Structure 1
Amino acid sequence: MNERRPVSARSPAQALFRRLVLINGLVFTLGTLILAVSPATVSAPVLLTEIPVLIVGLALMLTANAVLLRRSLAPLGALTALMQRVDLLRSSDRLQESGNGDLNDVVATFNAMLDRLEAERSTAAAHALAAQEGERQRIARELHDEIGQSLTVVLLGLKRAVDRAPEELCEELHAIQETVRSSLDEVRQVARRLRPGMLEDLGLIASLNALAADFAGMSDAQVTRRLESHLPELGPDAELVVYRIAQESLTNVARHAKASRVELSLCRQPGGVVLRIADDGRGGRITEGAGVRGMRERALLIGARLSITSPPEGGITVQLTIPVRPERN
């Protein structure tokens, strides 16, 4: 939990103004003292031989003033750069406090704002994704219980009709039967993709194997699977995130990559449990649409790191690293 910083008696703007006034006052005070104790004199009117002394003194004062101001305002440049690159869907970085007391309040306030925004976005994303999963389950139930049952009734009726139909109509009725049976299979596949019941019943590895088999059935790409069976306990939320990201990645490969080989792996590595989906397709510039942003939001929910890269040799590599607690002996 973040510690609450004490509220400063003066605002950061007032503190910065005070620092600038002190720096300028110090520089000009030292310049005046040096001029007072030095043997240099200034006549009225100014002699030509005194002009170089004045120019050197002014240059030294301006240089000292610029160095002190640059050092004092240096955190503002880093803060501006952080503002330009910050992305709440990626691993957030924070600006380190530099010891500049007057600007530390600004840096700390900005870091606290990022923490608050990330927490709020994470909470909102969790609610949205929970609602999405609930809607997926509702649609899957309706497909299975209503449309699936209706198609099953139609198949039974067609069977009875085939048994009583004249021979010249049997072939046409058989074709209709096959069409309805194919539609029933498609409805079941859609329902299974919407609600991975296998994930709850048989576990993550079996679900990823089934997902890879479905992908191989709808794509010409060869799928290589490397799924370790003995992995640390991830929990239901993390397993669902792994499944959904693998599902979205394989769907993107099937739609856009034109790949001939795909690798799906889930293994233990020093950084945690790593899910990796790599293809040898077209690759190129990665466009972060709704699907990719949804994957990043899911990764943030479980504190995982998601990276999507396009290697020089081609294709796209999606890697999700889920941190796990070290196992106690």
Structure 2
Amino acid sequence: MSLFWRIFALNAVVLGAATALLLWAPVTVSVPVLLTEAVILVGGLAVMLVANAALLRLGLAPLDRLTKLMTTVDLLRPGQRLPASGGGGVAELIRTFNAMLERLEQERAASSARALLAQEAERRRIAQELHDEVGQSMTAILLGLKRSADDVPEPQRRELQELQEITRESLDEVRRLVRRLRPGVLDDLGLVSALTSLSEDFATHTGLLVSRRFDTDLPPLAPETELVLYRVAQESLTNVARHADAGRVTVALRRAADGVVLTVTDDGSGIEALREGAGIRGMRERALLVGGSLDITPAPRAGTRVQLTAPLARKQL
């Protein structure tokens, strides 16, 4: 029975009972109203109001839960559903809302996958151009400076050697950008070597102490999963350097029952009210790309822990 007919039926029962009492029961209303008559009238009104309030509370409770979910739902946290409680139109409304959420989550996952894959392709193209064009040009400049420095007197030689050093540092920076844009070691040597290189490079440029804990029996992963794990670790370390005010970072990769778990933990200032910017939401989108889940929580002692759980089988989008 729908909410409308339940409320209508309750009101009909109460009003019918009141009409029957007036027609067939020895109930009258005097002028002025006697105390007993006033008690009966007020009592009947109270019963009708309480019954209506109880039915409305019971019938509208699913709508209240639906309203709360509609204001807090996040498509980057899939699986938020309401049980189709209530009756009639209310249950149908909840089922329709759940079906709409399912469609929106699928469309968001598909669009995120397309955007992230396009982003990776663009990064690969830029990294290739930096390596082939800028890197080779700077290498040629470096060799030319070296040859020139060998043929000039001492004062000019010192200046050319300084230019060599500046060019060499710039070339190293270009190579570092190429590794960040497209980690070739990930394609050539695998995830563990890529995370090791990433953490060493991070420690060199930030001065933070980085420890690694990698299981030796890690299962084989799909290339998309390895890339997502690498990018989440990269973004987590970047956030540590920018915001955490930490002195030590731990990067761990362990085997789980049905996948792998990446954990990046720092001993910094921690989080009180997490504000999800573009970086964190990007990590969540990457996790959804492989059917994984991302959790950002305070570390056991101090700091922040970022944990990505990725399944072995890639989720079909």
Normalising by the residue count of structure 2, what TM-score does the alignment of the two structures yield?
0.91
- Superposition pairs of residues 154-169 of structure 1, within 5 angstroms: 154-169=141-156
Please give the alpha-carbon distance, in whole angstroms, between the structure 1 residues aligned to 2:300 and 2:19. 63
Aligned partner of 1:303 among 267, 291, 296: 291
1:319 to 295, 307, 310: 307
Question: What is the alpha-carbon distance in structure 1 between the residues aligned to residue 300 and residue 221 of structure 2?
Answer: 33
Report if the CA contact (8 A) 2:287-2:294 is conserved. Answer: yes
Q: How does 1:1-329 map to 2 (within 5 A)?
A: 15-33=2-20, 39-43=25-29, 45=31, 47-48=33-34, 49-270=36-257, 272-285=259-272, 286-311=274-299, 313-324=301-312
CA contact (8 A) 2:76 2:288 kept: yes
Shift of 1:216: 0.9
C-alpha distance in structure 2 between counterparts of 1:40 and 1:60, whole Å: 20
Measured against aligned partners, the alpha-carbon deviations of 1:72-129 in whole angstroms (never above 9, x if no partner) come to 1110111111112111122441111114232111101111111111111111111111
Q: What SS does the aligned partner of 2:246 have?
A: coil
Q: What is the CA deviation profile of residues 161-185 of structure 1, one whole-angstrom value per residue up to 9, with x for unaligned ones?
A: 1221123322221111111111111
Letter in 2 for 1:193: R
Deviation at 1:263, TM superposition (A): 0.6
- Alpha-carbon distance between aligned partners in 1 of 2:26 and 2:55, rounded to the nearest angstrom: 26
Whether the 8 Å CA contact 1:238–1:302 is kept in 2: the answer is yes
Asked if the contact 2:135–2:171 (Cα under 8 Å) also holds between the matched residues in 1, the reply is yes
Query: Separation in 1 of the partners of 2:192 and 2:48?
Result: 71
Whole-Å separation in 2 of the counterparts to 1:203 and 1:95: 42
- 8 A Cα contact 1:231 1:268, kept in partner: yes
- The residue matched to 1:252 in structure 2 has which SS? helix
Contact 2:293 2:309 in 1 (8 A): yes
| CA gap 1:202/1:22 in 2 versus in 1, 3 angstroms | same
Query: Aligned partners of 1:212 and 1:192: how far apart in 2?
Result: 12
RMSD: 2.1
1:261-290 CA distance string (max 9 Å, x none): 101001023474211101011223333111
Query: Which stretches in structure 2 are left out of the alignment for 5+ residues?
Result: none
Task: For residue 47 of structure 1, report the CA deviation from its aligned partner.
Answer: 4.3
**Secondary structure at 1:273's aligned position in 2?**
strand
Q: Give 5+ residue unaligned stretches, structure 1.
A: 1-11
Whether contact under 8 Å (2:3, 2:87) holds in the other structure is: no
